[in-house]
Amino acid sequence: MPAPHENRRTFAIISHPDAGKTTLTEKLLLYGGAIHMAGAVKSRKSKRSATSDWMELEKQRGISVTSSVLQFTYDGYRWNLLDTPGHNDFSEDTYRTLTAADCAIMILDAAKGVEPQTRKLFHVCRMRGIPIVTFINKLDRPARDPFDLTAQVEEVLGIQSYPITWPIGSGDLFQGVYDRNQQKVLRFHKGDPGNQKKVEVDVSGLDDPALDELLGAEAAGELREQVELLEGAGEEWDDARFLAGDLTPVFFGSALTSFGVEPFLQRFETLCPPPGDRKDADGGAVTPTDDRFSAFVFKVQANMDPSHRDRIAFARICSGKFEGGMRVHHFRLGKEIRLNRAEQFFAQERETVMEAFPGDIVGLYDPGVFRIGDTISTGGPMSFDAVPRFSPEHFGRLVLLDPLKRKQLQKGIHQLAEEGTVQLFTEPGREKDPICGVVGRLQFDVLTFRVEKEYGAKIRFDPMPYAHARWLEGPETAEQALAMRIPMVVHDVDGNLVALFQNDWELERSIRDNAEWTFHETAPIRAGA
């Protein structure tokens, strides 16, 4: 019998906004048998909202603003799908979620190719050594030449590509894909009007004389020439290079119409690696087969069930076996705690889990003891590398519109800060007027919406002119830093000194004038902080 972790597959989906990420997520669930009908992405135009977009604000706007966890069983494997926000304003949530993934699906728009947000997320994957599978989407619309698209992936992202499927036309002429592994032409029938169910496929070989009649002589001839060119001049497949993040398999299709999704999922089953070793903070290897249980928290989410006002800490299991009610050591708090309640998720739907294994994501009931980056383990203290906090790019001073709601505001703003929705800073002498920092402006809208809907406090933000934050190593007090012409000095939630700058010139001048100090762009959530 294989070890339980060997049939776990944990992956994230990343893309530039509007490349079709949530649509592909729905279709993977559909073909995986987890749902029977795919939900529409733009919920304002549909009766149903996408399964992975559970937050009320997401349903109103038709975009994903927070990562969600979707777990299902397909073909003997236990899949943990981490659906991330595509919008640049919520990229920090995506960065943190990638720490829990063993593989990533990168979605590209066939008409636009590699876009700015794709680059940023791709480089995070490369930094973490995560294998990347590429799905080029929206072939049901006019698209760029497939050779140009694969060449752009190689030139812009610096990774070699190996097309596993190849498109037959695009836009109105898109007829299907050629599967290089099976050496089969997969020609698709049009689905139901809403494209909510699986599409039927005609299968034939490249040399089948009937292919000319099925595709048309011109399309069939062009396909044969392109495949011949691929086989003669393309990259060789290499499992080791893929797992090292140096080679990406490429698939073509249309998530909206379901064309190309099924062959993608079937191949992804064998591509996505099982859970591997993780390094602890001391550089040692933690393997999935270790008897000692260990996990780290990569996300905290409050009020997933508004009627219960609960808080859930999402933890990725790295080794050992999780058992409901077990006692573990909480490294940051330096004490033992009991994991009284744990759940696994299908978006907002949950089920109690009594055991889980490496690669699984469990939602731990959080009475206020967990923060992003926390490590829990049996057998005494241990910790994994911290999940970083990134430098905010927009700042605003929080203004409470109803003074009688200060208690609700304090509870809400601190809980949402612990989730990572916003970073909180306090200016010495003005501790009652917190400063909020975010990576993208849309996070202010999310914060305002959630504080009012979930905690009953109305707020607004007075914009501040700062664009950079740097954690200071050197000065011991805010007064010492201000004396050296730092424009604004604040404390973060851990009491660390943080310098705020309006522009690059201010930042560079301060670095030049204080060469003995260190200006950190990210702040690790340190164990014991």
Q: Would you list the domain boundaries of the chain?
A: 4-271, 293-377, 388-524
Residue linked to tokens 């501790």: 431
> Locate tokens 């080029």: which residue?
136
Length reported for the chain: 529
Measured CA to CA, the distance from residue 272 to residue 103 in angstroms comes to 6
For domain 293-377, which CATH number applies: 2.40.440.10, 2.40.30.10, 1.20.1050.10, 1.10.150.110? 2.40.30.10
Token code pair at residue 445: 């809208």
What DSSP character marks residue 492? -
DSSP string, 91-143: HHHHHHHHTT-SEEEEEEETTTBS-HHHHHHHHHHHHHT--EEEEEE-TTS--
Q: What are phi and psi of 498, to 5 degrees?
A: -130, 130
**Whole-angstrom distance, CA of residue 406 vs CA of residue 30:** 45
pLDDT at 62: 42
Give the model's pLDDT for residue 53.
Answer: 43
Q: What pLDDT, on the 0 to 100 scale, is given for residue 359? A: 95
Positive/negative CA dihedral, 245, 250, 253, 254 = positive
Q: Rounded CA gap, 407 and 61, in Å?
A: 29
- Residue in this structure with the two tokens 């010495």, named with its chain if needed: 428
Name the 3-class secondary structure at 116.
helix
Q: How far apart (Å, rounded) are the C-alpha atoms in residues 30 and 397?
A: 44
Please, which residues bridge with residue 495 across strands?
Answer: none
Sheet with 468-473: list strands edge to edge.
488-491, 497-501, 468-473, 518-520
pLDDT at res. 36: 55
Its pTM stands at 0.78
**CA 252 to chain CA centroid, nearest Å:** 21
Alpha-carbon span 449 to 121, nearest angstrom: 27
Task: Copy the structure tokens of residue 316.
Answer: 């990725």
Distance CA 23, CA 30 (A): 11
CA 516 vs. chain centroid, Å, equals: 37
Q: What pLDDT, on the 0 to 100 scale, is given for residue 350?
A: 75
Local structure of residue 63 (DSSP, 8 states): S
Amino acid at 217: A
pLDDT at 252 (0 to 100): 96
Question: Burial of 116 by CB count in 10 Å (0-12 exposed, 13-18 middle, 19+ buried)?
Answer: exposed
Distances (CA, A) of 109 to 262, 307, 360, 438, 454: 19, 39, 30, 27, 36
Give the architecture-level CATH label for domain 4-271: 3-Layer(aba) Sandwich (3.40)
Extract the tokens encoding 322: 């999780």
The H or E element containing residue 251 is: strand 247-252
Coil, helix or strand for 515? coil
CATH class for domain 388-524?
Answer: alpha beta
CA distances from 43 to 56, 58, 191, 338, 496 (A): 11, 9, 21, 40, 42
Written as tens digits, the pLDDT of the chain (529 aa) is 678 899 999 999 888 778 888 888 888 888 777 665 555 333 333 334 444 443 454 444 443 334 467 888 888 888 888 876 644 444 567 777 888 999 999 999 999 999 877 787 787 787 778 899 999 999 999 999 999 999 999 998 889 999 999 999 888 888 889 999 888 888 887 655 444 556 666 777 888 888 888 888 899 899 999 999 988 877 789 999 999 999 999 999 998 888 888 889 889 989 999 999 998 888 889 999 999 999 999 888 776 655 556 788 899 999 999 999 999 999 999 999 999 888 887 645 678 889 999 999 999 998 889 988 899 999 999 998 766 677 888 999 989 999 899 898 888 888 778 777 788 999 999 988 889 998 777 778 888 888 888 889 999 989 999 999 999 999 999 999 999 989 999 999 888 999 999 999 999 999 999 999 999 987 755 544 4
